[in-house]
């Protein structure tokens, strides 16, 4: 077993096809198949099963895949660390972004990365915070942005931005609607509106349901939709209301199509955190990317118009 065999095996597993992997790796398909067979022979297990559409991992293959990704990431970091001693940071880094932040940050992140780190390579993946946390802990992602992460020994979190949550409704509401544009809405009032929310593993959904349960209220969940963009399309079409941040709304590209009413009594906020593995040494490249991400997040937040604030009544 050697690193080249592990690299070939990982690429075949990721693409689900020997032919596609051979094209990407610029190697003849028979040679690629032979290297994977040698790996299976050496380990005395079957790693990949062929089907009509390509190949799938066996149970043994899934276990080796997780180990292989970590090993290849470690070797990449070793090279980065040695290369960084010769000057500016180099190597490859994988950044994980939630979909809503991906729309806001991907372009400025790529442009800033190319300007400040010309010798390094950047890969960006998108996923929910729960998935990103898992990918960071297994080594598939080096730096991630997570909403309201739960404490984990394997991951270090640094809060970057607190954003108030609000109820998002169509800007042009139907006849007889009681949605008052921009007026705060109490959590108790929220139960009267049909909500379109992500699945229960989503950070904002967890926060909402926990707070509602503590207050003795039950949310009216009309639909469960994973994609923020799809949620907003349904809201605009009048199928319900969403609970999002101003940044997520700005990322839709059509913020003027909606009204955002800040949540009050209590005021709920979503915390965006930078996350890295607690078990990996921080390289110069990682530090530079963390600094760049922080700057871009704060700049994006400042560019978003603030949501209306709740004013306390005094007698």
Domains (ranges, CATH) in the chain?
1-87 (1.10.10.10), 163-269 (3.40.190.10)
Over residues 280-305, the mean pLDDT reads 86
Q: Band of the pLDDT at 137, cuts 50, 70, 90? A: confident
Instruction: Examine the pLDDT at 302 and tell me if it is beyond 70.
Output: yes
Q: Before 266, cis peptide (omega within 30)? A: yes
What pLDDT was estimated at residue 163? 86
What is the pLDDT, as a whole number, of residue 172? 66
Read off the pLDDT band of 310 (50, 70, 90): very low
* The pLDDT of residue 89 is above 80: no
Does residue 300 contact residue 104 with C-beta atoms inside 8 Å? yes
Distance, CA of 90 to CA of 83 (rounded, Å): 6
- pLDDT of 20 reads 87
pLDDT of residue 108: 94
Under 8 Å CB-to-CB from 221, ≥6 apart: which residues?
Answer: 195, 197
Cα 113–Cα 114–Cα 120 angle in degrees, nearest 5: 80
Tokens of 198: 């992500």
Rounded to whole angstroms, the Cα distance separating 315 from 313 reads 7
Q: What percent of the chain has pLDDT over 90?
A: 34
Reported as a pLDDT band with limits 50, 70 and 90, residue 85 is low
Cα distance between residue 112 and residue 254, in whole Å: 25
Rg of the chain taking only CA atoms, in angstroms: 23
Would you say residue 177 has pLDDT above 60?
A: no
Band the pLDDT of 35: cuts 50, 70, 90.
Answer: very high
Q: For 144-165, what is the mean pLDDT?
A: 89
- Quick one: pLDDT band at residue 90, thresholds 50, 70, 90? confident
Pick from 45, 44, 15, 51: nearest CA to 32: 15
Place of tokens 């390094």: 120
The 3-state DSSP class for residue 56 equals strand
Give residue 307's pLDDT band: very low, low, confident or very high (50, 70, 90). Answer: very low
CB 250 within 8 A of CB 304: yes
The DSSP call for residue 255 is G
In the Cβ-directed half-sphere of 173, how many Cα atoms lie within 13 Å? 14
For the chain, give percent helix, strand, coil, nearest 5.
45, 25, 30
* Residue-averaged pLDDT of the chain: 84
For residues 225-230, average pLDDT: 85
Residue 306 has a pLDDT of 53
End-to-end alpha-carbon separation of the chain, Å?
77
DSSP per residue over 104-173, as a string? HHHHHHHHHHHHH-TTEEEEEEE--HHHHHHHHHHTS-SEEEEESPPP-TTEEEEEEEEEEEEEEEESSP
User: How far is C-alpha 253 from the chain's CA centre?
Assistant: 19
What number is the average pLDDT over the span 185-210? 86
For the ranges 79-83, 121-125, 149-153, 182-186, the lowest mean pLDDT is seen at 79-83
């Amino acid at each position: 077993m050697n690193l080249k065999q592990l690299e070939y095996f990982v690429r075949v597993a990721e693409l689900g096809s020997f032919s596609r992997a051979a094209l990407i790796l610029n190697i003849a398909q028979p040679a690629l198949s032979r290297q994977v067979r040698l790996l299976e022979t050496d380990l005395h297990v079957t790693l990949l099963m062929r089907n009509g559409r390509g190949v799938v991992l066996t149970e043994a293959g899934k276990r080796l895949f997780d180990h292989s990704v970590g090993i290849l990431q470690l070797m990449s970091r070793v090279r980065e660390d040695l290369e960084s001693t010769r000057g500016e940071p180099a190597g490859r880094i994988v950044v994980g972004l939630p979909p809503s932040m991906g729309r806001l940050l991907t372009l400025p992140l790529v442009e800033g990365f190319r300007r400040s780190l010309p010798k390094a390579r950047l890969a960006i993946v998108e996923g929910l915070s729960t998935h990103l946390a898992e990918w960071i802990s297994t080594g598939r992602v080096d730096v991630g942005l997570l909403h309201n992460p739960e404490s984990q020994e394997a991951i270090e979190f640094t809060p970057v931005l607190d954003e108030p949550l609000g109820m998002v409704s169509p800007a042009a509401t139907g006849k007889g609607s009681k949605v008052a544009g921009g007026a705060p809405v109490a959590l108790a009032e929220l139960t009267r509106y049909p909500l379109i929310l992500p699945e229960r593993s989503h950070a904002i959904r967890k926060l909402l349901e926990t707070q509602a349960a503590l207050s003795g209220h039950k949310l009216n969940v009309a639909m469960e939709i994973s994609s923020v963009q799809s949620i907003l399309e349904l809201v605009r079409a009048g199928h319900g209301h969403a609970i999002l941040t101003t940044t997520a709304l700005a990322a839709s590209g059509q913020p003027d199509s909606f009204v955002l009413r800040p949540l009050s009594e209590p005021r709920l906020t979503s915390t965006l955190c930078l996350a890295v593995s607690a078990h990996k040494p921080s390289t110069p490249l990682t530090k530079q990317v963390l600094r760049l991400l922080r700057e871009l997040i704060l700049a994006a937040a400042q560019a978003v118009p603030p949501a209306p604030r709740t004013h306390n009544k005094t007698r």
